[in-house]
Amino acid sequence: MKKSLCILGSTGSIGVSTLDVVARHPDKYQVFALTANTQVEKLAAQCAQFKPELAVVGNEVAAQTLRTLLQSKSPKTQVLAGAAALCDVASASACDTVMAAIVGAAGLPPTLAAAKAGKKVLLANKEALVMSGQLFIDAVNANAATLLPIDSEHNAIFQCLPPTFDRNSAGRAVHKIILTASGGPFLQRPLNTLDDVTPEQAVAHPNWVMGRKISVDSATMMNKGLEVIEAHWLFGLPAEQIDVVIHPQSVIHSMVSYADGSVLAQLGNPDMRTPIAFSLAYPERVDAGVGHLDLTKVMQLNFHAPDFARFPCLKLAYQALAAGQSASINLNASNEIAVQAFLDKKIGFRMIDQLLSKVMDDLALVKINDIEDVFNADRVARSYTTALIGTV
């Protein structure tokens, strides 16, 4: 039988790559639902091609526009609007697999709804685990959901771990996991010039095609910091068993170091369709449309330790993981506000880590018992960061 997919965030880079893989295997996959926030015309084109039962947009105005566009392109597609509709399609009985690719905190509720519904969750939304951590893992376990990471680094770790690996007894054979990082566009740029970085320069990633927000996170290495936190929850390992290494070529996507001294690595061309195809077909493998790696053209692989003076956001993430409670929520929320302010040219590039550091120092930590606690902490951190930006 075909797998029925709900793609949360279908117009973003992960969503587009997912649909590219799906289009290569019409005998294996069918699209049940597509969602987007405001990119109505792009979503309409996707609906015209894949004919989903449902499409969800951010508000009713966008929904009316989409309905008009779909009258001739995909008249059977029902259009819904709003955050509740995202949770509805993610948990619907008619789909078995959910690609969670909505960027930011907005992606947490529908992703959590998919986990509670026992879906196969393909997790491309870092914030689900960064914000809710144990709550999300508990939902996966309690409802027999399947959780597969889409981030190239975590997907690489997953591929390098033994099939018998159990996050609840992690570390028995694993010495550490090693997340690789390209270093972003400013790896070699003089530190004293980073104040002058423009948004256009920050989103020009040397290896990967990504959205604007995650591209800035790559430039600050906050993306890697969030991945450290995410890896802790995915694989059940403490911070001291999670390393980050700069690897500019982005050929080795991550590694697992074992107790016997062996290190296993997953290699491939930098293309998100590889981890997407792996997760869609798991435990089988299918063509992803990605060219095969030619090691004779790679020639060399370089590695070095990250410099916290250049990438203070990475250090802040380790500190948040160690602090626990609401620290990771505060860090993530503040980062979303600060990055958007940078993209809107309200603050400079180095103001991002300065704002995050102040928020981490100033906000009291609170215990997280339920999802309401998560969103309350998130609101407080966003409000405080916004207020700080207003004083700049």
Tell me: the pLDDT tens digits for 33-56?
999 999 999 999 999 999 999 999
pTM here? 0.91
CATH architecture of 3-149: 3-Layer(aba) Sandwich (3.40)
Q: Which residues of 373-387 are buried (b: 16+ CB within 10 A; e: fewer)?
A: bbbebbebbbebbee
Burial class (CB in 10 A: 0-12, 13-18, 19+), 283: exposed
Classify residue 221 as left (phi > 0), alpha (psi -120 to 50) or beta: left
Tell me: the pLDDT tens digits for 256-297?
999 999 999 999 999 999 999 999 999 999 999 999 999 999
Q: Are strands 97-100 and 120-123 parallel, antiparallel or unpaired?
A: parallel
Query: Could you tell me where in the chain the CATH 1.10.1740.10 domains are found?
Result: 324-392
Give residue for tokens 């997407």: 276
Q: What is the model's pLDDT at position 219?
A: 93
| CB 5, CB 28: distance < 8 Å | no
Tell me: the pLDDT tens digits for 52-102?
999 999 999 999 999 999 999 999 999 999 999 999 999 999 999 999 999
Residue 362: partners with Cβ closer than 8 Å, 6 or more residues away: 384
What is the maximum span of the chain, computed from C-alpha positions, in angstroms?
62
Residue 167: partners with Cβ closer than 8 Å, 6 or more residues away: 137, 234, 235, 236
Give residue for tokens 């989409």: 66
Percent of the chain past pLDDT 90, that is, above it, reads: 88
Query: Could you tell me where in the chain the CATH 3.40.50.720 domains are found?
Result: 3-149
| Beta partners for residue 65, in sequence order | none
One-letter amino acid of 82: G
The yes/no answer on whether domain 324-392 falls in CATH 2.40.50.1070 is no
Residue 285: partners with Cβ closer than 8 Å, 6 or more residues away: 277, 278
Is the predicted pLDDT of residue 121 greater than 90, yes or no? yes
